[in-house]
Structure formats: C-alpha cells, structure tokens
Amino acid sequence: MRGIDPQPGRPRVVILARGDSRRMGRPKGGVTVPGTDLTMLQAVAALYPPARFVRLVVTRVDLLGQYRPLLEDSGPVEWITAPAGGTTAGTLAAAMGHPALKEQPAAPVLAHPVDLPLVRPATRDALLAALDETRSLVVRPSHGGQPGHPVCFRGKALGPLLAGVGSDDQEDRSMGRLLTEKLAAGELDVVEVDDPGVVRDFDSPADLEGQP
C-alpha cells in the first residue's frame, strides 16, 4: 500500500510477529494451528480480509523468507522489519512510521499478536463497534475477567501512547503498563466477550497438545 489508500477509513491491523519464540522452539507464525491446515500467521491474517482491512506484519529480517510465502496468496500485506527483542509496545512502535498509520491517523488500528490465532470474526467486529460507540481511545477484550487481544486503538491515540517507546524497550514501557495507565485515566474500555480465543495464546509445544 505505497500509494493512496482508496478507502482511507479502513481499519489497520498490525500483526505482531517478531518474537524470538524461545519456548516454542521455532517461529510461532509458521506453526500450524491445531485442528487446521493454517499456520498461526495465516490464521491471524485471514481474520482480516484485505477488502476490509489494511494489513501490516511486523517481523524480523531473518523471518521474512519464511513468512512472506505464507501470505503470498492472501492479498495485499505490508511488511515491516524490526530487530528481535523488546516488548509488544516496541513492536507496535516499529510500525508507526509506515504510511498506513502515519498518514491516516483517523483510521482505527488493531494490534494482534501472531500467537493468538483463534479469535473469532464476531469478536473483531464487536471491538470495532465498541470503539465506534465509545469516547475512549482504546478498547480491549476480556474473557472470564482476563484481558486479551487484539487491542483496538483510535489511530490518533497511538502516537501519544507510544511516545518515547523504542523497538528494543523492555518491561518498563510494556504494552501492559501503558494500557493500565489508559485504564486508570478512563481512556480504555474493557469489553467482555464470549470468545476464549482472545486469551488463548500458544507459547510452547505443550500448548499445542490436546487442542481441537
């Protein structure tokens, strides 16, 4: 999407896929979702059809050769590279210079970690609807009282939220802390959803066992 977006109001989704995957032992985006023939990266990308969303994937240079072919038949995708390490906030900050975010601050932005591939389309739509209906700057799903993903932002909120965050920042500027600050300030709405996929991440090989 190097030119002008013909639908500039389309939500942007940033797929966060630059982690080391140390506990999994291999890049999570290439791991097959249990019970499907899709990798985690493919499953997350499929949740956001390009007719409705501008899709950006933040990953590492060394993973591009593995990840690009997984999405080559899925429609337009923008690729952003950042060094390994850092936090979720740092990964999202790495995307902030891309024209899809920088030049369209009015569009909502969803941040979706690649290891949560089971989120339902209805949940995605509910989060966007909730953001549209609230005056808050951020909407986050919750299931069973546990905060989850994707997190949905007003585009204009991202710059101030991530001010000073670098791609290699550690826990003192983590996304969890930043969102806690927004919650305390009354700028974040938590939406309880009947979707365990918002909290069901796959962090290690053991997490892949026994899944439908």
List, for residues 82-91, the tens digit of each pLDDT value: 887 667 888 8
pLDDT at 181: 77
Q: What share of the chain has pLDDT > 70, as a percent?
A: 88
Number of Cβ within 10 Å of residue 204's Cβ equals 14
> Do residues 6 and 46 lie in contact, with contact meaning Cβ atoms separated by under 8 Å?
no
Q: Measure CA 117 to chain center.
A: 10
Distances (CA, A) of 70 to 38, 73, 77, 182, 183: 9, 8, 11, 35, 36
pLDDT tens, position by position, 95-129: 888 888 887 878 899 999 999 999 999 999 999 99
pLDDT at 207: 86
User: Is the pLDDT confidence value at 210 over 70?
Assistant: no
**How confident is the model over 51-72, as a mean pLDDT?**
95
Question: 3-state DSSP: the chain helix, strand, coil percent, rounded to 5?
Answer: 35, 20, 50
**By mean pLDDT, which of 6-20, 107-121, 189-203 is the weakest?**
6-20
pLDDT at 91: 86
Measure the CA–CA gap between 78 and 100, rounded to whole angstroms: 9
User: Is the pLDDT confidence value at 49 over 80?
Assistant: yes
**How confident is the model over 1-12, as a mean pLDDT?**
65
